[in-house]
Amino acid sequence: MERIKIQAAFFFLLRCGLWGKKQSAHEKELFPLSEAEWSGLYRRANEQTVQAIVYDGLLCLEKANLPPRQLQLKWSVQIDRIERSHHRNNSMIAQQHAFFTKRQLRPLLLKGQGVAASYRLPQHRVCGDIDWYFESRRQCTLAGLHLIKNSIPRVNAGGQVYRWADTEMDLHDRLFDFYNPFSRQALKRYRIDFPDTTLTIAGQQVAVLAPQVQIIQVTAHILKHSLAFGIGLRQFCDLAALYHSYSHLLDGTRLEKLYRQIGLLRWIALVHQFLVHELGLAKDKLPFPAPPATAGMDILQDVWESGNFGFYDEAYVRSIDGVSVARKNRAEALLRRIVRHFPYAPKEAFWFPIIHFFNRRGI
């Protein structure tokens, strides 16, 4: 019962924080919380990496319903760190962009700070790695060679993840995290119709995907991790924020046709229901109408149990001294997720293990 109450209060605050709207009637049903309940809610916000957005939701509460003073202070200090990280990441993006363009490379920023720009408060989206995409494998390889030549270390030998100052930077030559090889031509045609745009970050004009393409890229990222070990709320918040900010630019008919063509329409319908019912996205911001709620895969339970990228799913994460350090039962976890997703995203669920098998063998 306590868990249900914490979950309900958590999503109430998340919705308030995302959209900046006070919901007085529902507040009376959920608050006040006990000190233990606030502690549990705070822990969940950190596990889901949405602690700054949930904190914004606190600002919509009546004074009597706020958490204990000590937790408020702890939380506000954390928000200050998140805001500082946001500005530091922007500075590093500008440095990295200048580094690549000086060497006649054409980097395109993926996810991260480009998506944060669609939030009500961009500085409150927790920063992750900095991801750069290059149109060809040759460009991506050259980018890596230039980094090594300039003493930017690789995180793992043979990989394309580098340590720039205190931040990890990933280089990609693959834009969409879809595994069905027969979807590539449809995705390629779709991207051609919506050319890349730019975003000003720390004084640099940085190339980013057009919003119409960015939502596909974020959707693919969500599905990839959902099929693997799990995905947290931050990525669903990304998609909700993109829909909210760019709904006027989206061609719903075209988008629905694309999802049907690549075999994701049933899965995206569940995602859209989740965005509306749990995250509070207005229905009229969806690119095409969400079908009536039906029984199906429980995204809420999956997200709540797995946390950010599945690192809090106790059934599949091994801990040492209370710190999650490694996956366990990997094959069992993957099989369970593939079976669960197959009725909703059959093409991706079919190809996901096959592509991973060949990649691991270096074929």
Q: What is the DSSP string of 55-95?
A: HHHHTTS-GGGSPPHHHHHHHHHHHHHHHHHHHHHHHHHHH
**Residue 291 per-residue DSSP state:** P
Within-domain flag for 133: no
Within-domain flag for 132: no
Give the model confidence (pLDDT) of 6-20 as tens digits: 999 999 999 999 999
From the list 46, 57, 44, 48, the residue with the least C-alpha distance to 14 is: 57
For residue 211, what are the contacts with CB-CB under 8 A and spacing of at least 6? Answer: 118, 197, 242, 245, 246, 249, 250
From the list 164, 169, 160, 134, the residue with the least C-alpha distance to 152 is: 164
Per DSSP, helices labelled H in the chain are: 2-19, 24-30, 35-47, 51-58, 69-102, 112-116, 137-149, 184-192, 211-227, 233-246, 252-261, 265-277, 299-306, 330-341, 346-360
Report phi then psi at 68, rounded to 5.
-55, 150
* The residue type at 218: V
Q: Which two tokens stand for residue 131?
A: 């991801």
pLDDT at residue 184, as a whole number: 94
Q: In this structure, what is the dihedral angle of CA atoms 75, 48, 311, 147, given to the nearest 10 degrees?
A: -80
Within-domain flag for 96: no
How far, in Å, CA of 153 to CA of 165, rounded?
Answer: 10
* Total-model pTM: 0.92
pLDDT at residue 97, as a whole number: 98
Last residue within a domain, chosen from 67, 88, 121: 67
pLDDT at residue 157, as a whole number: 80
Report phi then psi at 128, rounded to 5.
-115, -145
Within-domain flag for 252: yes
234 burial (CB, 10 Å; 0-12 / 13-18 / 19+) is middle
Q: In this structure, what is the dihedral angle of CA atoms 100, 105, 109, 113, given to the nearest 10 degrees?
A: 20
How far, in Å, CA of 132 to CA of 55, rounded?
Answer: 30
Burial 240-266 (b: 16+ CB within 10 A, else e): bbbbbbbbeebeeeebbebbeebbbbb
How far, in Å, CA of 171 to CA of 26, rounded?
Answer: 45
One pLDDT digit (tens) per residue for the chain, 363 residues: 557 899 999 999 999 999 999 887 789 999 999 999 999 999 999 999 999 999 999 999 999 999 999 999 999 999 999 999 999 999 999 999 999 999 999 999 999 999 999 999 999 999 999 999 999 999 999 999 999 999 999 998 878 999 999 899 999 999 999 999 999 999 999 999 999 999 999 999 999 999 999 999 999 999 999 998 889 999 999 999 999 999 999 999 999 999 999 999 999 999 999 999 999 999 999 999 876 656 677 899 889 987 754 444 455 444 444 444 444 556 777 888 899 999 999 999 999 988 876 665 443
Q: Domain of 316?
A: 211-363
* The residue type at 278: E
Within-domain flag for 28: yes
How far, in Å, CA of 344 to CA of 269, rounded?
Answer: 9
Within-domain flag for 122: no
Do strands 130-133 and 167-172 pair parallel, antiparallel, or not at all (unpaired)? parallel
For residue 115, what are the contacts with CB-CB under 8 A and spacing of at least 6? Answer: 125, 214, 218, 238, 241, 242
Residue with tokens 């930017």: 152
Within-domain flag for 201: no
pLDDT at residue 326, as a whole number: 45
pLDDT at residue 3, as a whole number: 73
pLDDT at residue 229, as a whole number: 81
pLDDT at residue 319, as a whole number: 46
Last residue within a domain, chosen from 9, 32, 67: 67
Within-domain flag for 198: no
Q: In this structure, what is the dihedral angle of CA atoms 272, 273, 275, 277, given to the nearest 10 degrees?
A: 160
Asked if 327 contacts 255 with a C-beta cutoff of 8 angstroms, the reply is no
Last residue within a domain, chosen from 17, 35, 67: 67
pLDDT at residue 252, as a whole number: 96
pLDDT at residue 298, as a whole number: 86
Task: Tell me how many domains the chain contains.
Answer: 2
